[in-house]
Structure 1
Amino acid sequence: MSEADPFPQVYLHGTRAELKAGDLITVDYTSNFDDRALSWVYFSAAMHAAKWGSALARGEGAERIYAVVPTGPIEDDPNVTDKKFPGNPTRSYRSRDPLLVVGELTSWEPFSPEEVQRMKDGLAELKRQGKDVIID
């Protein structure tokens, strides 16, 4: 932060977990998308990416998007940056340090069931081809 910009960048994290302001999203929880615990927490500065995070997250809970602030260093998410999209147009990041939940976005439009099914079909095809690797 600087005197000219005293507010930290707020990022977004899509999930089905029920959280509240002050909670920490930490590593070693089972991934939204995989059966294993990951050593990074993932987040984005783009609403579109956060919506996909919530839409594709495992679990029965409601789709949720939280405003989060990283508590340590961050880096571009190599799972999408340069692997799928040159540069970082999805503004997707990851950190080994916790994300501090500062609030929940309550007014946003989720993807349609048809859009989610198309994405799930595409992900299933990647899995069938052995290309569903998460770089952790």
Structure 2
Amino acid sequence: MKTIYYHGTKADLNIGDLIEVGFTSNYGTKRKSKYIYLTETLDAATWGAELAFGDGKERIYIVEPTGYIEDDPNVTDKKFPGNPTKSYRSKHPFKVVGEVTNWQSHSPEQLETMKNHLKKLKEMGIEAIED
């Protein structure tokens, strides 16, 4: 069975578009991205869409990696052995092959809790995305 990968964002993309490194990151300090991220879970992609910078519509795309992907070290470290969120990153483009149009947002309370957590990390000098 083929693995389905998702990418959550506020970017307006079309089928066939490539998501590539080098654009302003959706998170953190808004620097140019060295990696792009994808996940096997709708929940992680939902967080990606909800927490991305910008005023665009929250979107979840179905993507295909065009090269090597590795575990996302931002969520896979000594605190989270393995890769429980099934999140990955790559320096190779992802091709948009579809869009999930019917997905459930997190509750306003969950979203506020996550934003407060990210704010505290930032105040402590911890970058949400480590490239």
- What TM-score, normalized to structure 2? 0.93
CA contact (8 A) 1:9 1:69 kept: no
Q: Which runs of 4+ in 1 moved over 6 A?
A: none
Tell me the amino acid that sits aligned with residue 101 of structure 1: V
- What TM-score, normalized to structure 1? 0.90
Pairwise CA distance, 1:74 = 0.6
1:132 and 1:16 mapped to 2: Cα distance? 20
CA deviations 1:6-57 (Å, max 9, x no partner) are xx42200000001111000000111111210111111101111100000000
Note the aligned Cα RMSD (angstroms): 1.3
- SS state at 2:110 partner: helix
Pairwise CA distance, 1:111 = 1.3
1:107 matches 2:121: no
Pairwise CA distance, 1:110 = 0.9
* Counterpart mapping for 1:17-32 below 5 A: 17-32=11-26
Tell me the amino acid that sits aligned with residue 113 of structure 1: P
Which structure's CA Rg is the greater one? 1
Change (3 A) 1:84 1:54: farther
- In the other structure, the counterpart of 1:71 is 66
Change (3 A) 1:89 1:28: same
Tell me the amino acid that sits aligned with residue 9 of structure 1: T
CA contact (8 A) 1:40 1:95 kept: yes
1:110 and 1:131 mapped to 2: Cα distance? 26
Mark the runs of 5 or more structure 1 residues left unpaired by the alignment.
none
1:63 and 1:111 mapped to 2: Cα distance? 12
Across the two proteins, how many residue pairs are aligned to each other? 130
1:16 matches 2:10: yes
- SS state at 1:18 partner: coil
- In the other structure, the counterpart of 1:57 is 52
2:12 and 2:120 mapped to 1: Cα distance? 30
Change (3 A) 1:119 1:48: same
Percent sequence identity over aligned pairs: 55
